[in-house]
Chain A
Amino acid sequence: MCAKLTKALDKSLWVFHVNSGSCNGCDIEILAALTPRYDAERFGVHLVGTPRHADVLLVTGPVTRDMEEKLKRIYEMTPDPKVVIAVGTCGVSGGVFHESYNLVGPIDRVIPVDIYVPGCPPRPEAIIDAVVKAWLKLERLRGEGGEQ
Chain B
Amino acid sequence: MINLIYGIAGTFVLGVFAILFGLSVKGIDRKISARMQWRIGPPLRQPFRDVRKLLLKDNVLPDNAVPWIYNAAPIICLASLITILLFIPIGSIPAVLGSSGDIIVVLYLLIVPSIAIIVGGFSSGSPFASVGAQREMVLLISYELPLSMIIFTFAWAYSVLYPGIPALSFSTFEKYPIWNQFSPIGMFGVGIFLIIALLVTTAEMAKIPFDIPEAETEIAEGVFVEYSGRNFALFYLADAVKIVVLSAIIIAIFFPYNLSPWLSAYITLPHWLWYVVDVLFFMLKVVVLSIIAVTFLRTALARLKVDQIVRIYWFHLFIAGVAAMILIALDTMGVL
> Within B170-212, which residues are at the interface with A (CB < 8 Å)?
none
Residue from A46, A47, A50, A80 within 8 A of B58 (CB atoms): A80
Q: Does A133 sit within 8 A of B, measured CB to CB? A: no
Q: Is the CB of A39 within 8 A of B53?
A: no
Q: Is the CB of B53 within 8 A of A79?
A: no
Q: Residues of B contacting A137 with CB < 8 Å?
A: none
Q: Is the CB of B221 within 8 A of A50?
A: yes
Q: Does A53 sit within 8 A of B, measured CB to CB? A: yes
Q: Residues of A contacting B37 with CB < 8 Å?
A: 36
If the complex has contacts A39-B41, A42-B42, A79-B57, are A52 and B227 also in contact, measured as CB distance less than 8 A?
Answer: yes
Q: Is the CB of B58 within 8 A of A8?
A: no
Q: Residues of A contacting B226 with CB < 8 Å?
A: 50, 52
Q: Does B232 sit within 8 A of A, measured CB to CB? A: yes
Nearest chain B CB to A44's CB is how many angstroms away? Answer: 6
Q: Residues of B contacting A5 with CB < 8 Å?
A: 56-57
If the complex has contacts A49-B216, A49-B220, are A55 and B225 also in contact, measured as CB distance less than 8 A?
Answer: no
Interchain CA distance A5-B19 in the complex, whole Å: 21
Nearest chain A CB to B207's CB is how many angstroms away? Answer: 15
> Within A1-47, which residues are at the interface with B (CB < 8 Å)?
4-5, 8-9, 11-12, 14, 36, 39, 41-44, 46-47
Q: Is the CB of B53 within 8 A of A55?
A: yes
Q: Which residue of A lies closest to B40 (CB)?
A: A42
> Within B32-62, which residues are at the interface with A (CB < 8 Å)?
34, 37-42, 46, 49-50, 52-53, 55-60
Residue from B38, B39, B50 within 8 A of A12 (CB atoms): B50
> Within B224-241, which residues are at the interface with A (CB < 8 Å)?
224-229, 232
Nearest chain A CB to B209's CB is how many angstroms away? Answer: 17
Q: Does A81 sit within 8 A of B, measured CB to CB? A: yes
Q: Is the CB of B34 within 8 A of A41?
A: yes
> Within B260-301, which residues are at the interface with A (CB < 8 Å)?
none
Nearest chain A CB to B102's CB is how many angstroms away? Answer: 38
Q: Is the CB of B225 within 8 A of A52?
A: yes
Nearest chain B CB to A32's CB is how many angstroms away? Answer: 14
Q: Does B217 sit within 8 A of A, measured CB to CB? A: yes
Interchain CA distance A52-B248 in the complex, whole Å: 33
If the complex has contacts A39-B34, A53-B228, A79-B58, are A48 and B41 also in contact, measured as CB distance less than 8 A?
Answer: no
Interchain CA distance A11-B221 in the complex, whole Å: 22
Q: Is the CB of A48 within 8 A of B221?
A: yes
- Tell me the B residues contacting A by CB distance below 8 Å: 30, 34, 37-42, 46, 49-50, 52-53, 55-60, 128, 216-217, 220-221, 224-229, 232
- Tell me the A residues contacting B by CB distance below 8 Å: 4-5, 8-9, 11-12, 14, 36, 39, 41-44, 46-50, 52-53, 55, 77, 79-81
Chosen A-B contacts, 15 in total, with CB atoms closer than 8 Å, are: A8-B55, A9-B56, A11-B46, A12-B52, A36-B37, A36-B38, A39-B40, A39-B41, A41-B39, A42-B41, A49-B216, A50-B220, A52-B225, A55-B53, A55-B57
A-B contacts besides A12-B49, A53-B232, 17 pairs, CB < 8 Å: A8-B52, A8-B56, A11-B46, A12-B46, A12-B52, A36-B38, A36-B39, A39-B34, A42-B42, A44-B50, A49-B221, A50-B128, A52-B225, A52-B232, A53-B228, A55-B53, A79-B60
